[in-house]
A and B are shown apart, each in its own frame.
Chain A
Amino acid sequence: MLKVNVMEEKYSDIEQAILSEYKYGFVTDIEADEAPKGLDENTIRFISAKKNEPEWMLQYRLKAYHQWLKMEEPSWANLKYDPIDYQDIIYYSAPKQKKKLNSLDEIDPELRRTFEKLGISLDEQKRLSGVAVDAVIDSVSIATTFKAQLAEQGIIFCSMSEAIQEHPELIKKYLGSVVPVTDNYFAALNAAVFSDGSFVYIPKGVRCPMELSTYFRINAENTGQFERTLIVADEGSYVSYLEGCTAPMRDENQLHAAVVELIAQDHAEIKYSTVQNWYPGDKDGKGGIYNFVTKRGICQGSHSKISWTQVETGSAITWKYPSVILKGDHSVGEFYSVAVTNNHQQADTGTKMQHIGKHTRSRIVSKGISAGFSNNSYRGLVHVSKNATNARNYSQCDSLLIGDKCGAHTFPYIEAKNNTSVVEHEATTSKVGEDQIFYCNQRGIDTETAVALIINGFAKEVMNQLPMEFAIEAQKLLAISLEGSVG
C-alpha cells in the first residue's frame, strides 16, 4: 500500500513539472526582404516578380488565387482555433542577399550560424553524414548541398524557384498534377503564394545514393510560410527524402500551409519522412504554428511504392493527411505516423488511401499520444473503388492517453466497392499501464524513464521506418515533448 502512495505522490510531482524549453525557439537577426502585409493580386504579382518568374507561372498563381477567393475554410476537422486573418500575414519574406551566390562560403555568416545551431551543417565538410540538404528559411531556399554529385547521375535536386527557371517543362508537367489548385482551401492558397520549396527529379533506373533533405525554418515575425515540394521518381528509381522544421517562439500564431506532391512511375519508390517540430506554443497554448499541410502522392505506374513516415511533435495545430493514390496495378502505399500532443496542442492527422489499380496494397500504422490539455485525432480514409480487384488494406491506430484532461479521437472511413478486396481496421485506446510502470519501478527504473521507455516501445513500429539519422533525433524529440507530462 505504501509503495502505491509513494508512486502517486511522485506522479503529481511530475505532473507539475513544466515542459522543457523549446530548444529551437531563438530568433536570428537577419535583414529580410518582405512583401507588404496582406493578400491581393498585387502581392502575387510581387512574389512572382521577385522571383523573376515566367508568365505561365504568374497565371498559375493568379488562377489559384481566384479559386481560393471562391472557397471556404474547412471546418470539419476536430480543431478549435480563432479565425485566421489572411490579410494580417506577410506572404513573402526572404533573407536579404546581395547577389546570386556561387558558393556556400558567400552565405551570410549569421544565417550559417542559425543552421549550425539547428544542427544542420550547410558545409559540405559534413560529407560523411551523406545527406544532401536544401535549407529553406522563411520563404526562400538558402542553399542546396551536394548538388554537383547528384547531377552526375542526372538527379535534379534544387529549390523550386530554380526549377521553375531551369526545368520549366518538368514543372509545367507535374506541378499541381497530384494536388490541383482546386483541391482544398489551403492548397489553393499555397498555389497562389508559395515562395519556394524543393524539387527533386530522379531519372529512370537511378537509385539516389544519399538521403535528400529539406530543412524548413520560419524566422521573421508575422510571416506565413508556404513552401511547395515536388518529387518525381521516374521508372525504376528510388529516393528517400527527409523533411524537418522549426520556428522561433512567438506569442502570435503563425501559418504554415505547404503542399507536397509525389509522383512514382513504374517500379519506382519514394520514401518521405518528416520530423515536424514547429513551435507548439507555450504551456498555456499561446502562440505556435498552425500547420495546415496538404501532402499527396500518386503511384502512377505499376509496382510503384510510396511510403510516408511522420513524427509530429510540434505545431499548435496540425491539419495534415499525407495520402496515396494507388493508381498503378500492384502499387503499394504506406503511412506510418507518431503524433504527440501536449499542453494545448491539437492535431487532426491521418491519411487517405485510394485504391484504384488492381492488386494494390496499403498499410496504415498510426500512433497517437496525447498529454496535458491536448486533443489528438486520427482521421483516415480507405477507399476501394469498383475496379480495384484484390485490393488489400490493413490499418492500425492506437492511442495513448496521459492524464485525464486530454482527448484521443479516431475517425476512420472505410469505403469498399469491390468484393475481392480485404480491408481491416483496428484501433485501441488505453493509458500507460500502471502495472508496467510498477514493473519498471520495481527494477529500479524511475517513473519518468519508465514512461519514456513504454512510449518508445509504443512508437517503435513507426520509428523503425525512419532513416537512421532521423530516428535518433525523433526518439529524443518524443522524450522531450512529453517531459513532465507523466501522471
Chain B
Amino acid sequence: MSTVDYYIEQLNTIQAAKQDSPLAPVRKSALDTFTNMGFPTSRNEEWKYTRIGSIFKKEFRLQNEDITSFNQSSIDAVRLPGHENANELVFVNGRYSEEFSKIISDEIIVTSLEAAASDEYADIVKAYFNSSSKYLKDGINALNAAYAQGVFIYVPKAKVVPHPVYIYNIVDAVADAVCALPRCLVYVSEAAEVSFVETYATLGASESITNQVTEIIVAENANVSYCKIQNDNSKASQVSTTHIHQVGKSYAETVTISLDGGIVRNNLNIVMGAAHSEAHMYGLYFQNGESHIDNHTIVDNVMPHCQSNELYKGILNDRSTGVFNGRIYVRQDAQKTNAFQSNKNILLGENATVNTQPQLEIFADDVKCSHGCTVGSLDEEGIFYLQSRGIPKEVAMSLLLQGFALDILEKIKIEHIRTYVQELIAARLTTQI
C-alpha cells in the first residue's frame, strides 16, 4: 500500500465521523484532489527544489481524538516571552486545545471551525474557507483541507485587540511519528486591528511533520501583522501556508523567521483584492547542518493602486539549502501598482546551496515593478576593516551577519519577540561561527 493510500484511508475514517458537518463537502472534494494528485514530486515546478515526497514516504499518524495525556509544563517550556500579556492558542498534533489556550482580550472571538460554519459566521466560512487552494494546487494543501479541524478567529468591527495572539503548534512525537494538520481561518473585520505571533515545537525524538494552513481575511481599513518563528528540531519538517486575502483597502505585514528544522517550506500568499491596499513581507532564514528552507511567496495584485514590498534575507551555513521563489502577479486591472521584491543570500558554508527564483508576471502597463536577488559570501573588505581595528575575525563576521539580519529583525513589532529572536541569532553566531 502506498503512503497516499494510507492517508486516504485515515482521512476516510475521520471524515466518516463528521458526515453532517457543513464543512463535509469541502473536505470531501479536498480528499478527491488529494487522491488525484498525491504528494508533489520534484517534477512539479513549485516543488522542484524541495523533495517533500521523501518525507511523506513514512506513515505518520493523524490525530483523531482530543489530546488528554498532556501537561502544562510541556507548554510552559515552549512559551514565548511576553505571554503573560498575550492571548494564547495552543494546537496539539494539529488539534486545537481549549484546555491549554487562554483568551484574555474581549475583542477577539475564537471558536471551532465546525461551530462557526453553522452559526452566525457561516457566510464568512462559506465564502473564504479553503480559498487558498486556488493558489496552491497540490496534494499537500488538499491533505490539510481534507482534515480541517481547526479554529475560526473573528475580530469584530472597529475593535483593536490590545494583546497579541500567540499561536503554539505543538507536536507530541514522544511515542510515535505524527503528522499534524493545524488549520485557522481568521476574519479581521472593518477597521479592526490584530497581531499574531506563531511558533512551532516538537516534543520527543520521533519524526514529525506539520502541514499547516492559515487563511486570514482582511476587511476594509483593517490592520494585521503576522509573525512566524520557526526554530524546531531537525526531525521536525513543516509545510506552512499563510494565505492573506485583503478584501478591503487594508494593511498587512508579515515577518517570517526560520532558524531551524528539517525540511521547512513556507507558502505565503497575499491577494490584494482591493484598491489602495498595502502589504509588506519580510523574511529571515539562518540555516545550519542539513536543514532545508523553502520560502514560496505569491503577491497577486488584482486591483489598482496597491503597493507591496518584499524583502527576504538568508544566511546558509554548513550543508544547508535555501530556496526562495517569489512571484508577483499584476493583473490587467491592477494599474498603478507598485511592487518590489528582493532576496539576498549569504553562502557561509562551503557546501551550502541557494536556489532563488524571483518572478514577475505582469499584465498591466502602468506599473512599477522590480525584483532583485543576490548570492554571495561575506564582504572580505568589511571583515578586513574590522580586523585592522583589532576585532578578531569571528567577531567581525558575527557583527556583519548581525547587521545583515537587522534589516528584518527591526520589522518585528512586538518588543519581547524582537529581543527574543535577536538573542537566538546572537547565540547562534557566538557558538557556531
Contacts and interface: CB of A to CB of B under 8 A. Distances in A.
A423 B375 contact: yes
Given A401-B365, A419-B377, A427 B350 contact: no
B303 to A, nearest CB: 14
A427 B365 contact: no
Contacts of A76: 45
B365 A406 contact: yes
Given A425-B372, A428-B370, A420 B377 contact: yes
A418 interface: yes
B360 A427 contact: yes
Interface of A: 76, 384, 386, 399, 401-431
A408 B326 CA distance: 16
Contact of A416 (B335, B354, B360, B363): B354
A420 B376 CA distance: 7
B289 interface: no
Contacts of A401: 362, 364-365, 367
Nearest to A426: B372
B366 interface: yes
A476 B85 CA distance: 69
Nearest to A405: B332
B371 A427 contact: yes
9 contacts: A384-B375, A405-B332, A406-B363, A409-B360, A413-B357, A417-B353, A426-B370, A427-B372, A429-B362
B359 interface: yes
B358 interface: yes
B328 to A, nearest CB: 9
Contacts of B332: 404-405
B212 interface: no
Nearest to B342: A426
Given A404-B335, A417-B353, A420-B377, A425 B369 contact: no
Given A421-B347, A423-B374, A410 B356 contact: no
A183 B372 CA distance: 30
B356 A414 contact: yes
B149 to A, nearest CB: 37
A419 B364 contact: no
A412 B358 contact: yes
Most chain A CB within 10 A, of B348, B356, B377, is at B356
A424 B354 CA distance: 13
A431 B364 CA distance: 9
A105 to B, nearest CB: 53
A430 B372 contact: no
Given A415-B353, A416-B353, A425 B365 contact: no
A425 B359 contact: no
B286 to A, nearest CB: 15
A422 B371 contact: no
B376 A421 contact: yes
Contacts of B356: 414, 425
Given A423-B374, A423-B376, A427-B371, A399 B353 contact: no
B376 A422 contact: yes
A85 B364 CA distance: 34
B353 A425 contact: no
B370 A427 contact: yes
Contact of A407 (B335, B348, B361): B361
A344 to B, nearest CB: 15
B157 to A, nearest CB: 36
Nearest to B340: A428
A51 to B, nearest CB: 39
Contacts of A424: 372-375
B352 interface: yes
Contacts of A431: 365-367
Given A409-B360, A415-B354, A403 B365 contact: yes
B358 A427 contact: yes
Given A405-B332, A426-B372, A427-B371, A419 B45 contact: no
Given A427-B370, A428-B370, A412 B357 contact: yes
Contacts of B367: 401, 429-431
B368 interface: yes
A413 B349 contact: no
A410 B371 contact: yes
A412 B359 contact: yes
B44 to A, nearest CB: 11
B13 interface: no
Given A76-B45, A404-B364, A422-B376, A409 B359 contact: yes
A417 B372 CA distance: 19
A408 B375 contact: no
Contacts of A405: 332
Interface string B258-301: 00000000000000000000000000000000000000000000
Contacts of A427: 358, 360, 370-372
Contacts of A415: 353-355
Contacts of A420: 377
A410 B373 CA distance: 13
B365 A399 contact: no
Contacts of A410: 358-361, 371
Contacts of B352: 419
Contacts of B371: 410, 425-427
Contacts of B361: 407, 409-410
Nearest to B325: A413
A409 B376 contact: no
A418 B377 CA distance: 9
Contacts of B358: 410, 412, 425, 427
Nearest to A402: B365
Contacts of A429: 360, 362, 367-370
Nearest to A425: B373
Contacts of B355: 413-416
Most chain B CB within 10 A, of A76, A414, A421, A430, is at A414
Contacts of A407: 361-363
B349 A425 contact: no
A411 B357 contact: yes
Contacts of B372: 424-427
A428 B360 CA distance: 9
A454 to B, nearest CB: 14
Nearest to A417: B353
Contacts of A399: 360, 362
A348 to B, nearest CB: 12
Interface string B374-403: 111100000000000000000000000000
Q: Which 4 A-B pairs have the closest CB atoms?
A: A419-B347, A401-B365, A423-B375, A428-B370
Nearest to B355: A415
Nearest to A487: B365
A416 B376 CA distance: 9
B119 to A, nearest CB: 44
A42 to B, nearest CB: 35
B334 to A, nearest CB: 10
Contacts of A430: 367-369
A418 B371 CA distance: 23
A377 to B, nearest CB: 9
A430 to B, nearest CB: 6
Given A403-B365, A416-B354, A419-B377, A411 B348 contact: no
Most chain A CB within 10 A, of B45, B349, B357, is at B357
A405 B352 CA distance: 42
Contacts of A404: 332, 335, 363-366
B285 to A, nearest CB: 15
